[in-house]
Structure 1
């Protein structure tokens, strides 16, 4: 099943992306589908996953999960799917997504996830590039997009649907009809042969990058990459079948795919599939996860909601809340530095936990959480410090699709706010002369499908050029300071990393997103979008009438200028924001300004608002005396 080398071969349209020879085969290699079957045999009737129905959370056992995977694998065999071919999956997280992914891997094929927010153009790109003969779709809206490009993708032969209400449209297979093709045992022998033939160097998954700078590239991950990373995470976080995890981030993203597919198969924990992103808060209170992974925007929204509640508190409750927050911050500031809190602080902490902390955790659904993680994008240390006030330590993880997900993780006893933690066992990290973070280990990808030049640019021998800038302190903690490609080089030749500036701006109450600009200019400017909830609260507090334009109201602009001035005080003079513009339209995934994990696509934003940016510099020139 080994395919031609990525470094030398271009794929033809409609052909599967090739694999690259694995640099090191992990010890004790077990491919993910076999690991799942082994876990199912061990856990039997223990719940593998839950789905939120009208009557509550409905469980499916591990033994039934394994049977679904085997039946779906036989169905794919009946459709003629060959080893090395891709099976595309488009939709929100559901059991059918996971079943299809494992079924594809079990027969030597590979899942190619498509973000549920993708446009018709993006869907066509993944289908064409992967050459997938089978596509699984979750709802009518996304099916319409997929069918719109079907004629332009000749490799696509079958379109199957996840569980839907009503009959399947003509030319598609409903889930029941698809699974019916795998009934019986006539294809079991072929399935077992395919499963036994999987090697560590075979491609196990295609992760299409979210495309912050252009069309998505196919990150080729082998079964060896995936198996090693899942096993390493399992041991690092000590995950077991007693853990509960909520699945809500896109399965097309490596973080969710590794966490709720590969790591689950390895560890045996129970996955709860969120019904919608909007119901995440309710689901947390119902599930009480023991492990929770959130992107920074999730934590930021949570913080904003909590702060809003705190502002509404009055009298004794308000005094108690402020006191408990202070105790929590002081306690964890000492613990995170390795100190043992004194008797007085221990006493205050017990009281604060009983009166405030425990109640807040229960209200959030984190009362049983033993590991809270933030990853996929930078998060401001002040936000992490806020949660320590609630006796919640959110630990950072650092990684990328090209490293099969994580390369570092902050753990209990090894957490420093502002750092993304230490390297995972078996992973090596060093800093290049220009400040770029380089990573080496069994989890490093094999290349970009059909893009040998991009592959050569990303790899320096066995080292992955992460594209991130950072430094490692004397204790081995990694700090990320920005993206190499995002560096702003001013007209005076000064290099400025915008990441920390933007994070600091977004940490101020009114700002939702900020993009620093100034490449080739003599000073920095910023584009800002406002947080609607914070804006409404500000208007109410200021007594502003409801019929005014808040985006340009003098009181709002004054508050923003004060926030910018405060951020400037923390930066070198060359990194000061001299001018800013408030954009009326929020950045959204659907609008193309955010990735599926809610990172800002800086190039998209800057290109779209070039005239606004030019106006900022033109006005500055006009302000200068003749």
Structure 2
């Protein structure tokens, strides 16, 4: 990008453009962003960032971008894309980041619904989607791009450099163009529009103000002592509210250094090189990392494997206590120190967590075994509970009060309330303004006095910690009255590295049945070490040995359920392994990888019916979208297996009688 001159700071700090101006004035040489290009980390200080944003904002203004306009931003995590959002905000506009793996129809919906006239794409892939939808959404007038590769012969496009050149010329005649617009901004203005995951229908555009986001950034930083210069790796989708808080809002409010990886394929390498002090990962990422460690240990030599097993057993016993400052015997401290030298330290370095001071996970429930694995290593892993509508933060684990079965205590100035129905409600300064163009949904979600319905069922325990049971709408009952919490069951299944996804059925039925997706990497490695041949996911999923493996893990879940008086009657009685992986491109998952339960129930109705019948196999054919966008179909026979309930199941009846 071309370099220009930064604007003079204004006194107020209630918007991100104003915070940017202050940082450029008070800390001009401190690093703000880094990006890895061709294997080399390039650093950008605050003075450079402010100058780049000023030029781009002036260029947008020259193109006709006005206060209230919306800018679509689509691509991987790149400093320039983050800067473009601040450029739009500098003019009183509203950035609308979109998931980079969205198909054209999903992108068209967001562009049309947002009424966006301007869009910035990272590369040719995203440009192609935008040009494809222009016929459907003619209001999209200006398409800009960052990476020129493959775009030489494209017409009616503007590169970022061209936009900045226009900005430089405009600033020659109107030098206060950007600074005057920045000064007009107020904390109550719309700052960002983020589209929710849409598990039950079309995504909704949640509008968040600067007041919402600045409060959230400060509240999260104060809770865990984040400070200027703390490092994080920005690798999660820019359209997700968590990334917007961690990689954008806290960057401006706290002064975090945001590091953008070279590509999705280099994230682990880049993570090790940066060694962030502040880290976030959804449970799926944490599970995948442990799966990789497990696979490596299974392939390791005898001595190395035994050392790992011994020291990890010790770590699980004393690691969390050491992390929380609780008393531990001198012998255990000594042994843990040896383990840190031989196992924990090298392992944390491999995982890129050697310098992590605080780490969060959220989005889905994380298994206690997975959660405790990281804390045993000495990683200060915590759970947080939040939503787009809350500007992320509702509850977090305080230091010294980290329990795997809770999501922590309310952040400062967050109020919690449990409705008679068991639904969790909250109120805070981070509560969103509205759903764009959807007043009914806004009224349904947010009460007149500011309480937000989360849609989650939960309760506050005796320690004051929030415990989430399931989505309120998904909690049901079996025909005998047994509580049925599908996500609770699904998460127990997904704690096993061989199970990637699960979908449970049971409300209004006589028993619980599940679909299972295997983890191709973990099960593939398991099969390879046993000389089990396969040529595809479908072939591997159908192997009897794989069914036996999954059945043994479901039986372990049933033993856990049998030990819980509330859930003993909800043991899994029948299951099948789907012949294809659930995919967001097929509408089965959201872009944040949440199961769209209702859609799956309809799409695979014949398999659901077969689970509740007497058949041992079922045939299925479904349309699919391949990675290159082509359409096709996958069909095959899937086996259905019965399971005996574990002793202690309350109210359990023989399966055949139930059927």
Q: Please give the TM-score of this superposition, normalised by the length of structure 1.
A: 0.91
Query: Is 1:390 the counterpart of 2:377 in the alignment?
Result: yes
- Residues 344-423 of structure 1 aligned to structure 2 (within 5 Å): 344-423=331-410
Query: Is 1:523 the counterpart of 2:518 in the alignment?
Result: no
The answer for the alignment partner of 1:597 in structure 2 is 592
**3-state DSSP of counterpart to 1:136:** strand
**3-state DSSP of counterpart to 2:258:** strand
| CA deviations over 1:474-524 (Å, ceiling 9, x no partner) | 222111111112224434454411112101111124211111012332211
Q: 2:484 aligns with which of 496, 511, 514?
A: 496
The answer for the alignment partner of 1:534 in structure 2 is 522
The answer for the alignment partner of 1:9 in structure 2 is none
521-530 vs 194-203, greater mean Cα deviation:
194-203
Query: Is 1:76 the counterpart of 2:60 in the alignment?
Result: yes
The answer for the alignment partner of 2:166 in structure 1 is 181
The answer for the alignment partner of 1:553 in structure 2 is 543
1:469 to 1:332, Cα distance in 2 relative to 1, 3 A: farther
Q: 2:473 aligns with which of 467, 482, 485?
A: 485
- Residues 213-252 of structure 1 aligned to structure 2 (within 5 Å): 213-252=200-239
Query: Is 1:164 the counterpart of 2:148 in the alignment?
Result: yes
The answer for the alignment partner of 1:584 in structure 2 is 579
Distance 2:54 2:223 in 1: 30
Q: Is the 8 A contact 1:208 1:252 kept in 2?
A: yes
Distance 1:606 1:277 in 2: 32
Q: CA deviation at 1:217?
A: 0.4
Q: 1:439 aligns with which of 423, 426, 429?
A: 426
Q: Is the 8 A contact 1:84 1:108 kept in 2?
A: yes
**3-state DSSP of counterpart to 1:259:** helix
The answer for the alignment partner of 2:6 in structure 1 is none
The answer for the alignment partner of 1:112 in structure 2 is 96
101-110 vs 473-482, greater mean Cα deviation:
473-482
Q: CA deviation at 1:66?
A: 0.7
The answer for the alignment partner of 1:612 in structure 2 is 607
The answer for the alignment partner of 1:19 in structure 2 is none
**3-state DSSP of counterpart to 2:407:** coil
| CA deviations over 1:141-173 (Å, ceiling 9, x no partner) | 221111112133232221111232253721111
Q: CA deviation at 1:621?
A: 11
1:133 to 1:510, Cα distance in 2 relative to 1, 3 A: same
The answer for the alignment partner of 2:77 in structure 1 is 93
Which consecutive unaligned segments of at least 5 residues does structure 2 have?
A: 1-11, 562-566, 618-654
Q: CA deviation at 1:287?
A: 1.1
Instruction: Report the aligned-residue RMSD.
Output: 2.1
Which consecutive unaligned segments of at least 5 residues does structure 1 have?
A: 1-27
Distance 1:529 1:552 in 2: 11
Query: Is 1:624 the counterpart of 2:656 in the alignment?
Result: yes
Q: Is the 8 A contact 1:326 1:389 kept in 2?
A: no
Distance 1:250 1:187 in 2: 36
**3-state DSSP of counterpart to 1:535:** helix
Q: Is the 8 A contact 2:406 2:468 kept in 1?
A: yes
Distance 1:168 1:192 in 2: 36
The answer for the alignment partner of 1:268 in structure 2 is 255
1:228 to 1:545, Cα distance in 2 relative to 1, 3 A: closer
The answer for the alignment partner of 2:271 in structure 1 is 284
Q: 1:207 aligns with which of 180, 183, 194?
A: 194
- Residues 38-77 of structure 1 aligned to structure 2 (within 5 Å): 38-77=22-61
| CA deviations over 1:156-201 (Å, ceiling 9, x no partner) | 2211112322537211111111111211523442322221222222
Distance 1:429 1:599 in 2: 25
Distance 1:188 1:254 in 2: 34
Distance 1:603 1:60 in 2: 46
**3-state DSSP of counterpart to 2:385:** strand
Distance 1:363 1:209 in 2: 34
Q: Is the 8 A contact 2:221 2:254 kept in 1?
A: yes
The answer for the alignment partner of 1:574 in structure 2 is 569
1:176 to 1:337, Cα distance in 2 relative to 1, 3 A: closer
**3-state DSSP of counterpart to 2:577:** strand
Distance 1:436 1:335 in 2: 36
Q: Is the 8 A contact 2:423 2:455 kept in 1?
A: yes
> Which of 1 and 2 has higher RCO (CA within 8 Å, sep 6+)?
1
The answer for the alignment partner of 1:136 in structure 2 is 120
| CA deviations over 1:211-255 (Å, ceiling 9, x no partner) | 122111000111111111112222223222321111111111110
Distance 2:570 2:175 in 1: 63
| CA deviations over 1:434-482 (Å, ceiling 9, x no partner) | 1111111100011211111111110133111111111112222111111
**3-state DSSP of counterpart to 2:581:** coil
The answer for the alignment partner of 1:22 in structure 2 is none
249-258 vs 335-344, greater mean Cα deviation:
335-344
1:274 to 1:139, Cα distance in 2 relative to 1, 3 A: same
Q: CA deviation at 1:326?
A: 1.3
Distance 1:531 1:413 in 2: 34
Distance 2:325 2:80 in 1: 45
**3-state DSSP of counterpart to 1:600:** coil
Q: CA deviation at 1:322?
A: 1.1
